[in-house]
Chain A
Amino acid sequence: MRTLRVLFTAVALGVTAALNPAHAAVLKVAGPWEIAGTDPAQTGYVFSRLQVAETLVTANHEGNLVPALAKQWSVSSDGLIWRFTLREDAQFHDGTPVTPQAAAASLKRALAGVGVLSQAPLGEITSQGRDVVIRLTKPFSALPAYLVHFSTIVLAPSSFDAAGKVTQIVGSGPYKVKSLTAPARLELQASGRWWGGKSAIEEVSYLAVGQGETRALMAESGEADLVFSMLPVSVNRLKANPKLDVQIATIPRTRILKVNAASPFFDQIEERQAISAAIDRAGLTKVILRNADLAATQLFPPAMKGWNSPEVQPLVRDVDKAKELLATAGWKAASDGILEKDGKRFSVTLLTYSSWPELPPIATALQAQLRQVGIEVKVSVGNSSEIPARHQDGTLEMGLISRLYSIVPDPVGTLLQDYGPGGSDWGSMGWDNKEIQSVVEQLAATSDAAARAPLQSRAVEILQRELPSIPVTWSELAIVSNKRITGVQVDPLEVNYGLSAIRWAE
Chain B
Amino acid sequence: MRNFLLARLLQAGLVAIVVGALCFVLMRVLPGDAAMRIAAGRYGPDARIAEAAEKVRLELGLDRPLAAQFLEWLGSLLRLDLGHSLVTGSPVVHELKVQLGASVWLAASALALSLLIGPVIGLFSGLKAGGAIDRLGLAGAAIFRAIPPFVLGLMLMLVFSKQLGWLPPAGFGSPREMLLPALTLALGLAAMSSRVMRNSVAAVAKAPYFAFARYKGLPESVVVLRHGLRNAAIPVVSYTGLQAVYLVEGVVVVESLFAYPGIGHALVHAVVERDIPMVQGTALLMGLMFVVIATIVDLLTQWLDPRVRRTA
Contact = CB atoms under 8 A, between A and B. Distances in A.
Contact of B162 (A183, A220, A407): A220
Interface string B154-173: 10011001100111111111
B73 interface: no
Nearest to A223: B168
A37 interface: yes
Contacts of B261: 181, 183-185
A349 interface: no
9 contacts: A19-B179, A41-B47, A42-B88, A214-B258, A220-B161, A383-B37, A384-B49, A392-B50, A407-B46
Contact of B158 (A217, A383, A402): A217
A208 B50 contact: no
A217 B259 contact: no
A214 B170 CA distance: 7
A114 B51 contact: yes
A124 interface: no
Contact of B89 (A113, A165, A185): A165
B40 A119 contact: no
Interface in A300-355: 353, 355
B63 interface: no
B176 interface: yes
Q: What 6 A-B pairs are tightest by C-beta distance, nearest first?
A: A385-B40, A384-B45, A37-B88, A209-B259, A221-B161, A385-B36
Interface centre among B98, B259, B266, by most A CB within 10 Å? B259
Contacts of A214: 157, 169-170, 257-259
Contacts of A182: 88, 90, 95, 98
Contacts of B45: 353, 355-356, 384, 402
Majority-rule SS of B interface residues? helix
Interface in A254-281: none
A316 B302 CA distance: 74
A42 to B, nearest CB: 5
A384 B166 CA distance: 39
B33 interface: yes
Instruction: Bin chain B's interface residue count.
Output: 35 or more
Given A207-B259, A210-B256, A42 B162 contact: no
A358 interface: no
A236 interface: no
A218 B169 contact: yes
Contacts of A211: 256-257, 259
A218 B157 CA distance: 9
Interface string B44-65: 1111111111010000000000
Contacts of A221: 157, 161-162, 165, 168-169
A386 interface: yes
Contact of A183 (B49, B50, B88): B88
Contacts of B48: 114, 119, 388, 417, 424-426
Contacts of B88: 36-37, 42, 182-183
Given A41-B43, A385-B40, A388-B36, A218 B51 contact: no
B259 A210 contact: yes
A293 interface: no
A462 interface: no
B99 to A, nearest CB: 8
Given A36-B88, A37-B90, 19 more contacts: A21-B176, A39-B89, A114-B39, A114-B48, A119-B48, A182-B88, A182-B90, A183-B88, A183-B261, A209-B170, A217-B161, A217-B170, A220-B161, A223-B168, A385-B33, A385-B37, A388-B49, A424-B48, A425-B48
Contact of B98 (A21, A181, A386): A181
B175 to A, nearest CB: 7
Interface residues of A, number: 53
Interface string A152-175: 000000000000010000000000
Contacts of A417: 48
Contacts of B36: 385, 388-389
Interface string B282-309: 0000000000000000000000000000
A109 B208 CA distance: 79
Contact of B55 (A114, A181, A183, A184): A114
A386 B32 contact: yes
Interface in B161-199: 161-162, 165-173, 175-176, 179
B236 interface: no
Nearest to B34: A385
A222 interface: yes
B272 interface: yes
Interface in A414-447: 417, 424-426
B251 interface: no
B43 A114 contact: yes
Interface in A174-196: 181-185
A98 to B, nearest CB: 25
Contact of B50 (A30, A39, A355, A388): A388
Contacts of B15: none
A62 interface: no
Contacts of B47: 41, 114
A213 interface: yes
Interface in A67-107: none
Contacts of B168: 218, 221, 223
A389 B33 contact: yes
A119 B46 CA distance: 14
Interface in B234-267: 256-259, 261, 266
A114 B52 contact: yes
A83 to B, nearest CB: 28
B42 A42 contact: yes
Residue of A37, A42, A114, A417 most packed against chain B (CB within 10 A) = A114
B87 interface: yes
Nearest to B163: A221
Interface in A201-239: 207-211, 213-215, 217-218, 220-223
Contacts of B55: 113-114
A185 B172 contact: yes
Interface in A110-143: 113-114, 118-119
Nearest to A209: B259
Contacts of A113: 55
A19 B172 contact: no
A404 interface: yes
Nearest to A414: B46
A131 B48 CA distance: 30
